[in-house]
Amino acid sequence: MRKQIAAANWKMNLTYQQGEQLLQEILDAKIHLKEDQRAVFAVPAPYLTMAGQKLAGSKNYFASAQNCYNKKSGAYTGETAAEMLKSIGIEFCVVGHSERREYFNESNQMLFEKMQLCLENEIAPIFCCGEPLSIREAGTQNSYVETQLKESLFDFNEAQLQKIVIAYEPIWAIGTGKTASTEQAQEMHAHIRAVLAKQYGNTVAENISILYGGSVKANNAKELFSCLDVDGGLVGGASLVAKDFITIIQSLK
């Protein structure tokens, strides 16, 4: 049975103290997660140890990195290796967020390399894909996303692929307050699953969690998560407000 995941992406927001307080408020809500549910917090790198320790006592709550580098180790000042994340007990890492693709020129090949290193270090990548507005307007979003999947994922074998979480994030919906409709989300998620099924078979595709990201809020999470192929969300803005993210976690199927 695939996992239902509410993943927070704090991006470059909050001080250490604010982050600690936000996590505490969410934990204080004592939301009991079912066996197949997860709450994941992608926090800024300097807060990973704190977040990992704070969440450690709560079943199915995890800290996540927002990024890692595509090299094992070496003279790459300022970068973080997957092995370093593993050494502090981190089990998730966001890979290929559209902001990284856009501002840091991350290519599909580079993202493949990052995920390879994550998997070697027993870290589950949360792989982001999704089209810009121009592609959506041209109606070619399906082939655009298919290329992202093929170029970053298809060199993994079945066992590796099953450890990856996919986040479909239409770029035009990220931080814009413009959410994809449930029809648009479901249609793309079904397409992603079909692309995976063609390459890896139905059983593998059925077991992959596909999250939706793009202006998920407390008031639309339930509807989006109720779609057949939507297995939770990757949430930016609304994950910075304790009561909103609590509602989003409670909206998981």
Residue with smaller CB distance to ligand PEP, 4 or 86: 4
Asked if 130 touches ligand PEP (CB under 6 A), the answer is no
Stretch touching ligand PEP by CB under 6 A, among 46-54, 197-205, 228-236, 244-252: 228-236
Q: Are 91 and 62 in contact (CB under 8 A)?
A: yes
State the nearest-atom distance from the C-beta of 221 to ligand PEP, in Å.
10
Q: Interface residues for ligand PEP in 140-169 (CB under 6 A)?
A: 169
Answer for which of 4, 5, 9, 111 binds ligand PEP (CB under 6 A) is 9
What x/- string results for residues 73 through 112 when contact with ligand PEP is judged by CB under 6 A?
Answer: ------------------------x---------------
Residue type (1 letter), 189: H
State the nearest-atom distance from the C-beta of 180 to ligand PEP, in Å.
11
**Angle, helix 16-28 to helix 242-250, in steps of 10 degrees:** 40
Residue with smaller CB distance to ligand PEP, 57 or 103: 103
3-state secondary structure of 42: strand
Q: Are 226 and 246 in contact (CB under 8 A)?
A: no
Measured at the alpha carbon of residue 7, what is the angle toward residues 117 and 196, in degrees to the nearest 5?
60
DSSP state at residue 47: G
Containing H/E element for 216? none
